[in-house]
Structure 1
């Protein structure tokens, strides 16, 4: 048994397929969509009120006056990763699969890519490898239902996965990736507790900025010669215990289908558990005549749904976890995006919360009663937790979301990096994309400074 490969060794070997192998066209395109979707959520998240403390404080606290960037950018790579990770997740519109892989992984890979002048190809390789590591570790440590009700481990694997992603982007060999894992586990977040869904939902509900920044720090420590925990993922004392799980099955987690092909892109800026309810509602609304009026909405579902049926919005992050509020916004015709985060100033668009009613049931359904007395109803689907892709937006939906949410300069920078009709993989440094992502941060910081009395 002494010669048996450690889990870290096997994980490093598993993600090595993304280091320099020829791209599978489907994996490549899906990785591009992961980047596009994350940039969209980042652009939208920058404007949110509950993101303001992050940019106002972290922008200064984490950025030295001289940081060694080759392009003399304002923020250090550590600060850039932190701010990107927090902004991309703040609206809860970012992709999902065993948590939120995009915000921390893309935040870390982009920030180091900007510092090191990495090509688009290296960026995409790092992103794909990071998603793979994130999914393998998340799947290997899925807790029992009883344990999951006590501890939420969202975010625990993010720093490890993002570190692996950056390592692959930098073309680290397997032995270096093993060292990265050993250092990254010591910089990882502890799991959340059962307070997860209690309101008001905290603005820092997922500390994905810290996870992304921790990955940058881990990479730089390893590069400087730091060593970490040996065989950190092995045995009864492996990190899965720290992750709050009561189960660990690494071999079963090594699915043949790459993680980027299984990630789900959100149609609505709410928790993934609410997506199918909103999709079903959007279809039912098509059956209601414009001259009719909804008088009652009945939602049925198991006990686990009830926590999403609280109508009160006590904090700016609550909408993403409140079906009555999200339903009301959708019925009122408010476009999904940053406007969903500022509804406290728009009481009229929340009026349908008053006609919302939850009933405990083993069936997941929505029933809508209208003034004319005709009821519409539909069953609500339940997505596959290990493959969310069929339940999320398709490529066309991701592109439309990107055009709708992204800053015009960001859209132009993405178009330059990924021109339509041209080969996607190029050994060209997307300097314009790097510059725009950071400029958006500095502009937001300057805006807040200007508003100070």
Structure 2
């Protein structure tokens, strides 16, 4: 196994050089079949999220702005009939993938939503290169493995994480690695691309924009658009000889501290590289809302089945600090609703599960409002340890009914996660559910077949089905 120096020293070869070697020599034929199939599931899931997400109001406004000021280009934008340049297309598709909050998640050592900063920018650049489906698969696998390893290596301590945190800050390297793969950059250019991407990384904004500011919730959300555009730009610049820092991760002033972290564990960059595939641990979201709320929704489904919502007197939700910090004022937009546990719980109990997505009319429905007011959020400090140690999402819900009885349920691993289990069939069903109303049933099924057999198709064929 490759060894790097400690966090306070500079690696003998340099972290960027070691990762650059691996990317440059990566061969899709060496990837286990189940990892390739998992990559296809991630692509199916992400494309479905992009197609459905283009109709969200923030996406429509964003597309209008990018058209006016970014100009028309050659990259087709799914489900819109419009085209943008490569960089604005990467930005737009990444934001659209996250718009409905259905995009994939990872919990093992670096909680995040990796797909939005890997697959949409890769799909944008793949049209400009152009390339075939096998090359896209290779790029996606590289993007996940690089992004998640860097994410784990720069994760802050729980104490620091409570103060400063963000996903897209380090997820920019997923977009960069995927773009470097599609461009077939040599080792030296990849090393430069790491350095260029690092200084384009968005600031770690979660603590300000996600928990401190009053509502409405900002539509930039996790700023995946900026991370995706910056990652692709870094690879394009490096391909033309632009020079970046070649030791960006290493030393006392490396990317880890630039990103707001208080530690760097460089051994996690290469631990199991090429043998332990982090893609296997990527989970999928079957509710269109913040992942932190999913165990609550699963538990409500467990104990609330068959319960008349009008018979519920009170609802208590006890869980980890991050869940407790969500919510607050009644949501005024779909984006607000994605992060409002009380609203989401009310929908689940009323038979309007967020698995179907969220609807504007529910924001002003008096039945939703009444049930929402009966919900009390409780911070359970004992749940924090599992959250910070392994990314678990421990929650316990208790329903007290008008007849004096109670119902309770607890969950730790959300449905669709790697720990709880998922299947390609469930992901395919989600894809058809999300895209059928946009593309029509026949086009949705045809594009799903192409995605599941991606190595036998060109990107042009795929785009023709979803554009």
Deviations 1:315-362 (A, max 9, x none): 441212211000011112224244346532434334310211223433
- Matched with 2:312 is 294
The 3 A distance-change label for structure 1 pair 412 and 300 is closer
- Matched with 2:102 is 93
Deviations 1:264-308 (A, max 9, x none): 21121222221111111112122x345973222111234443212
Partners of 1:85 and 1:212 within 8 A in 2: yes
Partners of 1:306 and 1:360 within 8 A in 2: yes
The 3 A distance-change label for structure 1 pair 43 and 418 is closer
Q: Does 1:156 align with 2:179?
A: no
- Matched with 2:192 is 179
Aligned residue pairs, count: 428
The 3 A distance-change label for structure 1 pair 254 and 346 is farther
Partners of 1:292 and 1:372 within 8 A in 2: no
Choose from 415, 423, 435 the match for 1:394.
423
Choose from 455, 460, 464 the match for 1:425.
455
- Matched with 2:335 is 317
The 3 A distance-change label for structure 1 pair 367 and 193 is closer
Choose from 22, 25, 32 the match for 2:40.
32
Partners of 1:297 and 1:355 within 8 A in 2: yes
Distance apart, 1:186 and its partner CA: 2.3
- Structure 2 distance, partners of 1:84, 1:211, is 12
- Mapping for residues 199-348 of structure 1, pairs under 5 Å: 199-200=214-215, 201-256=217-272, 257-286=276-305, 288-289=306-307, 293-310=311-328, 312-336=330-354, 337-340=356-359, 343-348=362-367
Deviations 1:154-179 (A, max 9, x none): 10012222111121133333333212
- Matched with 2:402 is 371
- Matched with 2:201 is 188
Partners of 1:123 and 1:169 within 8 A in 2: yes
Partners of 2:204 and 2:259 within 8 A in 1: yes
The 3 A distance-change label for structure 1 pair 274 and 133 is same
- Structure 2 distance, partners of 1:73, 1:309, is 36
Q: Does 1:4 align with 2:4?
A: no
Q: Which runs of 5+ in 1 are unaligned?
A: 440-453
- Structure 2 distance, partners of 1:242, 1:351, is 46
Secondary structure of 2:378's aligned partner:
strand
- Higher mean C-alpha displacement, 353-362 vs 205-214: 353-362
- Matched with 1:414 is 447
- Matched with 1:446 is none
Partners of 1:15 and 1:129 within 8 A in 2: yes
- Higher mean C-alpha displacement, 359-368 vs 179-188: 359-368
Partners of 1:413 and 1:432 within 8 A in 2: no
Choose from 129, 143, 155 the match for 1:116.
129
Distance apart, 1:252 and its partner CA: 2.8
- Higher mean C-alpha displacement, 265-274 vs 1-10: 1-10
- Structure 2 distance, partners of 1:173, 1:341, is 49
The 3 A distance-change label for structure 1 pair 59 and 342 is farther
- Structure 1 distance, partners of 2:465, 2:427, is 20
Q: Which runs of 5+ in 2 are unaligned?
A: 384-394
TM-score by length of 1: 0.86
Choose from 75, 84, 89 the match for 2:93.
84
TM-score by length of 2: 0.84
Deviations 1:369-414 (A, max 9, x none): 2233321111231579xx9522464322211111100133562452
- Structure 2 distance, partners of 1:255, 1:327, is 40
The 3 A distance-change label for structure 1 pair 62 and 259 is farther
**Structure 1 vs Structure 2 CA RMSD:** 2.7
- Matched with 1:53 is 61
- Structure 2 distance, partners of 1:219, 1:413, is 32
Secondary structure of 2:316's aligned partner:
strand
Partners of 2:413 and 2:419 within 8 A in 1: no
Distance apart, 1:85 and its partner CA: 0.6
